[in-house]
Amino acid sequence: MSATASTPVTDRLIGFIDHLRANGFTVGPQESSQIADHLATHALAPLSRVRLEFKTMLTGDRDQWQRFDDLFEAYWQTTGRTRSSARQTYSPDIRKPHRQAPVWQQHLSPEDIRQNGETPQRETLGRENAEGEASGRLIAATHTVSQKTDLKHIVDPDEIRAAEELALKLARALRYRLSRRVKAAKKGNRIDLRRTIRTALPRGGEPIELFYRATPAKPVHIIVFLDVSGSMKHYSRFFLQFVKGLVCSWLHSDAFVFHTRLINVTDAVRDRNSARAMTRLALMAEGFGGGTKLGACLGVFNRQYARKMASSRTVALILSDGYDTGSPEDLASELTRLKRHVRRLIWLNPLLGWENYAPVTAAMQAARPHIDHFAAANTLESLAALEPQLAQL
């Protein structure tokens, strides 16, 4: 790295790199000095060429590639607006109370809103301790009962946490699948020639002791589709937590919510701050509580995302009650296409656990033939029962 003297040009350049960083580009000092060096050693080229050079050096993916031209013009030709909050960063030390978005409120009990809204962690803990000291046994008792209560009654933070843990367990059950990469192992189906020959040397090249290589387990990839339409309103809080559990514990998983539109929420769900995650989710799922167009939503997935995301190791998990306002034919054809992209298709239906419920809606009827595993998901128990079944898939 060469120390470049501060000149008007380098100052402007540093300003430009700051400007890119403020817009979410990852540009390090290495890139900055590289550009400065490049400008210093090369004759000044026309602006269009310089723009392309900068673009090649400073962008990292398609999104940045597409945004770069506007950012470039905004800075060098001062056509852009000044960002009032350019210096404002999200510091983990400063805890701001997170406002719950109004759309979210109907899905949470007032208590939850208060908790998530003002002092997230502390209040929960305080309450827990108080109860624990007063009536330790009672908690255990209510806990077992609640395992059987319908999920729509669950608002207790303990149980929400239990949901997240359960999600972790399920994730683990799905986790172990064969990969194609081989590693040294005690037993395996391939001989590790390299090690075998090395150890055979002292014995005149006689391979007496054999070493093996095997394919170790590799995680599957999960894609979750969560129905957040009106009919699922009572369950969505719980399931969002469940989805959060699935997505966080995995290196490789994606999450979508859908009602009349399909929204990719992977980034929002990955947010470590649970309250912020929920707020972001709520904002993204605008129109939350409306109708459902599952067929159309899966169509969007098949066209836009499937090719990129799905592979032979993908398990698609649909959480929906099957009350669909779209046409069942659409749903069936989109499911057929989805099946071609993924290895397994699992449908969890919270209504299935209800007494006298039969999956007779037109959508459910159309979807049944395409589903590899169809199960109830209305109590923690029913979700826990899934674990061994998923492990066999």
- Contacts with other proteins by CB under 8 A lie at 26, 28, 30-31, 34, 38, 42-43, 48-49, 52-53, 55-57, 59-62, 64-66, 179-182, 193-194, 197, 200-202, 204-205, 303, 307-308, 311
3-state secondary structure of 240: helix
**Which of 102/205 has CB closer to other proteins?**
205
Whether the Cβ atoms of residue 289 and residue 106 lie closer than 8 Å to each other? yes
Side chain identity at residue 101, one-letter code: A
Q: State the minimum distance, in angstroms, from the CB of residue 138 to other proteins.
A: 48
3-state secondary structure of 367: helix
As a three-state string, the secondary structure of 26-91 is: CCCHHHHHHHHHHHHHCCCCCHHHHHHHHHHHHCCCHHHHHHHHHHHHHHHCCCCCCCCCCCCCCC
Q: State the minimum distance, in angstroms, from the CB of residue 38 to other proteins.
A: 7
Q: State the minimum distance, in angstroms, from the CB of residue 85 to other proteins.
A: 25
Q: State the minimum distance, in angstroms, from the CB of residue 308 to other proteins.
A: 5
Please name which of 245, 52, 264, 47 lies closest in space to residue 161, comparing C-alpha atoms. 245
- Within 13 Å and on the Cβ side, how many CA atoms surround 344? 18
**Which of 107/221 has CB closer to other proteins?**
221
**Which of 264/361 has CB closer to other proteins?**
264
**Which of 61/355 has CB closer to other proteins?**
61
Length of the chain: 393
Q: State the minimum distance, in angstroms, from the CB of residue 242 to other proteins.
A: 24
**Which of 15/60 has CB closer to other proteins?**
60
Q: State the minimum distance, in angstroms, from the CB of residue 303 to other proteins.
A: 7
In 87-206, beta strands by DSSP E: 177-178, 183-185, 190-191
Strand 314-319 to 262-264 pairing:
unpaired
**Which of 254/324 has CB closer to other proteins?**
254
